[in-house]
Structure 1
């Protein structure tokens, strides 16, 4: 019996994949990681991104001592194809289309599963969804979307899942709605699949993946090293912007702006963000601590941010800090639309110290990489 775990709707690079791989570890299933579809800061023109083109799966497999696959390992599809091209509903007998029954982990107030059309179009699969049972949810609140890893694992343990035992044996709940091609299939027991595994917890608290003790980080995340070609490219960018032969000991800084607005103080004009002075003060303290405790002179500082205002970057320059001007570097034209994000992400993980933005998952993950991979320090800037 093939035991595979498949995750759809992979909109948040890294976190969803960490969750699905962790659930695979818990249940003894083999994770099959789907390609990443661009959303939010990346346009559809960027195309699909293979998970294995970003993260070194050989290293991950070795650390976990178990297989981790990608969908390209089990099914032929065009990674350069368009995921917006709908399957032909008039040809439901297309031999390339496969049909699966899957679990939906959306909140109990939602009347339909998470959006998965992009993955369905890409992989030529058609999915029916059944809502997970009540016991899988973390809180008794219909608006709360969190489920627990332990309860989800009880559903999909190979051959001995919850619906194969006791009075509920084979009494499957109805599907939430037919699939796009009109199928109403019960959740598949050979290949378990879910729609959106972002809101999953060990059962301690919500959003625990933002905590340093996160089970998914310590089991999976810290082993998700970047591929060598991407690391080499990031080093090339650092050497060029800093005008150095070797990448120096440095502090990396992630300043999240965009939707990260905070309540304004009296007299301030919206939008209000964490003042740059907060990041500067954190960098100065970290430089002093690295020198005192570790004899590391991290005089160079490299910043990544989603801010576009010239005045912001002028201030960064006045601090004596470096940053990648991806427009001037022609990063998108030379490498592709994914690469400004990837280069920034990888570079942020390379510091002896890291200063991030409170509540930003992007910052938290890079902080832990600096701590666990480099033995470095981290700090989260707050507006308070």
Structure 2
């Protein structure tokens, strides 16, 4: 298959169909408004009166028809609602995700205010991140799910528009710990097809780059170390980047204050989980803790934010709970703050004389949150939510409402598909066969292995699961599964461990050999691994890894495949083919 073709023609790539029961009517095919005869009826009339044509005549007629059709498209009128109309018929074009959501011709310079580009009749909503690409993807999905819930709020629906922050690089999550917060920021639209997602969700989506330019070119805390660079190139890079941190570049510029809600402040005794976006976009969040009543109680106290309760809290604009909570006389806020520090009062946090700003909830402003990772509909642990581990239903939550519709950006998908072809030895343009994919995460998971469990997360544990899965496919799905290739992604770099993988005849996505970082950039080993894993007809992942969890959902919901996960305790309780590991988590 040629990757420039529609991906729906390939059984292993995501299709554009949506089973969502509430798909927006505004994206239905645009109805024809012309009363003139259809193209088909006019052609039938013409052919009924024609004299007999020779073969040459038929060719000339076909050629003339194609020319006429092409010219009709050139001169077709484009209506204001994004549809292209030709006499007798029309079709709907896909709108841009950001269409009509920001001021046209607004100033987006790094020294400009982001508020200059907000429209007065729109409610905006945003949040920030926690470590690791896939954790950040989950946070983005949770933000979009919160937007979805706020729009479905029966009491007072508020049409919030999400503003997605870029993905932040994090030490330990880029190519096995080489990122060290030094990679460039990555836009959501560089990973996912944001226009398609907005169409399927039924509401527009912005990115922070639509509101303001960041300090592009500044490292997020260091210099990118390229392991393939020569020593002269490394020294030149260090010299050119000397002192170019965001803190120094932004020095002397007054940061724009932004009133924001904090979930981490509420559950971490007043402490904030920081990130570099305030430096990158030059704004200063002023935090207000969310009330404990919005969290699910656990043995450790309030921890997981309840997204439906949060949706009610921010809608409608005159929400009584929110209004009362922000008053100095409110007891809940005082009890919360006293629990952090018995000597601290509410005035120490909510005092406007000390620079406190009430969080925005009005139209023409941004309602912002520090962290939406630890959040769910009913207080479930985030990994349970995305695994849909019983009793979590499969038709609820952020994966159901958002995640399954977030398909890869076409450029990224093509890179991932081309990488898969290269790894399994297929020529360019050759159709992708059915494959099993395996994700082995070890480097930062080994400390969770008990002392008695040796070897931990061994290759044999993954092969036991894969062989059991292959047998079920052969018995219940197709006998050809016995010959499906196995493609492995891993953060492990130990040569002996990698040799065990290839000794099984499995194909290893070796980014060092592929020169991935040098060809595509430091983000791409992780991005390509995500795409490759999603192309599997069956997947064996690593338990508790959010990368494995998201890949499993894509394989299950996009490809109709089976998935299992291997945990660190497998050495104590070996693989048992009688157990349904797809439900273990």
Q: TM-score, normalized by length of structure 2?
A: 0.60
Give the Å deviation of 1:170: 5.3
Match of 2:374 among 199, 202, 205: 199
Q: How does 1:34-53 map to 2 (within 5 A)?
A: 34-40=165-171, 41-42=173-174, 43=179, 44-53=181-190
Match of 1:209 among 360, 385, 405: 385
Are the equivalent residues in 1 in contact too, given 2:538–2:562 (CA < 8 A)?
yes
Correspondence for 2:210: 73
> Per-residue displacement from partner, 1:76-105 (whole Å, max 9, x unpaired)?
33444444412788746x4xx432110110
Q: 1:239 to 1:111 in 2, by over 3 A?
A: same
Are the equivalent residues in 2 in contact too, given 1:129–1:175 (CA < 8 A)?
no
User: Equivalent residue of 2:359, what SS?
Assistant: coil
Give the Å deviation of 1:277: 1.3
| Structure 1 range deviating more: 223-232 or 148-157 | 148-157
Correspondence for 1:30: 161
> Per-residue displacement from partner, 1:279-315 (whole Å, max 9, x unpaired)?
1111112222223322252520000111110011100
Give the Å deviation of 1:375: 1.1
Q: What is the rounded CA distance, in whole Å, between the counterparts of 2:315 and 2:535 in structure 1?
A: 38
Correspondence for 1:112: 271
Q: What is the rounded CA distance, in whole Å, between the counterparts of 1:122 and 1:330 in structure 2?
A: 29
Give the Å deviation of 1:153: 1.5
1:345 is the counterpart of 2:510? no
Are the equivalent residues in 2 in contact too, given 1:109–1:143 (CA < 8 A)?
no
Residue ranges of structure 1 left out of the alignment (5+ in a row): none
Q: How does 1:131-150 map to 2 (within 5 A)?
A: 131-139=289-297, 144-150=302-308
Correspondence for 1:9: 129
> Per-residue displacement from partner, 1:31-74 (whole Å, max 9, x unpaired)?
10001110132322211111110011112111111011101112
| Structure 1 range deviating more: 295-304 or 12-21 | 295-304
| Structure 1 range deviating more: 285-294 or 335-344 | 285-294
Q: What is the rounded CA distance, in whole Å, between the counterparts of 1:366 and 1:3 in structure 2?
A: 33
User: Equivalent residue of 1:75, what SS?
Assistant: coil
Q: What is the rounded CA distance, in whole Å, between the counterparts of 1:64 and 1:53 in structure 2?
A: 19
Correspondence for 2:415: 233
Are the equivalent residues in 2 in contact too, given 1:55–1:226 (CA < 8 A)?
yes
1:129 is the counterpart of 2:287? yes
> Per-residue displacement from partner, 1:121-145 (whole Å, max 9, x unpaired)?
1111111001101201210656552
Q: What is the rounded CA distance, in whole Å, between the counterparts of 1:19 and 1:130 in structure 2?
A: 20
Are the equivalent residues in 2 in contact too, given 1:357–1:363 (CA < 8 A)?
yes
| Structure 1 range deviating more: 24-33 or 197-206 | 197-206
Q: 1:371 to 1:142 in 2, by over 3 A?
A: closer
Are the equivalent residues in 2 in contact too, given 1:241–1:324 (CA < 8 A)?
yes
| Structure 1 range deviating more: 25-34 or 36-45 | 36-45
Q: 1:30 to 1:317 in 2, by over 3 A?
A: same
> Per-residue displacement from partner, 1:13-32 (whole Å, max 9, x unpaired)?
31110111111111131110
Q: 1:299 to 1:119 in 2, by over 3 A?
A: same
Match of 2:477 among 287, 291, 294: 294
> Per-residue displacement from partner, 1:184-231 (whole Å, max 9, x unpaired)?
211111311111111112125223324323611101111111111111
Are the equivalent residues in 2 in contact too, given 1:111–1:176 (CA < 8 A)?
no
Are the equivalent residues in 1 in contact too, given 2:291–2:325 (CA < 8 A)?
no
Correspondence for 1:259: 444
Give the Å deviation of 1:258: 1.6
Q: RMSD across aligned C-alpha pairs, in angstroms?
A: 2.5
Residue ranges of structure 2 left out of the alignment (5+ in a row): 1-120, 152-159, 221-244, 334-345, 389-393, 574-585
| Structure 1 range deviating more: 9-18 or 186-195 | 9-18
User: Equivalent residue of 1:145, what SS?
Assistant: strand
1:367 is the counterpart of 2:555? no
Q: TM-score, normalized by length of structure 1?
A: 0.89
Correspondence for 1:274: 457
| Structure 1 range deviating more: 368-377 or 155-164 | 155-164
Correspondence for 2:356: 184
Q: What is the rounded CA distance, in whole Å, between the counterparts of 1:141 and 1:285 in structure 2?
A: 38
Are the equivalent residues in 2 in contact too, given 1:6–1:31 (CA < 8 A)?
yes
Q: 1:242 to 1:359 in 2, by over 3 A?
A: same
> Per-residue displacement from partner, 1:110-167 (whole Å, max 9, x unpaired)?
2222213x000111111100110120121065655211112221221241334565x5
Q: 1:369 to 1:140 in 2, by over 3 A?
A: closer
Q: What is the rounded CA distance, in whole Å, between the counterparts of 1:327 and 1:211 in structure 2?
A: 31
Are the equivalent residues in 2 in contact too, given 1:35–1:48 (CA < 8 A)?
yes
Give the Å deviation of 1:176: 7.3
Q: 1:367 to 1:175 in 2, by over 3 A?
A: farther
Q: What is the rounded CA distance, in whole Å, between the counterparts of 2:408 and 2:470 in structure 1?
A: 26
User: Equivalent residue of 2:143, what SS?
Assistant: helix
1:61 is the counterpart of 2:195? no
| Structure 1 range deviating more: 244-253 or 336-345 | 244-253
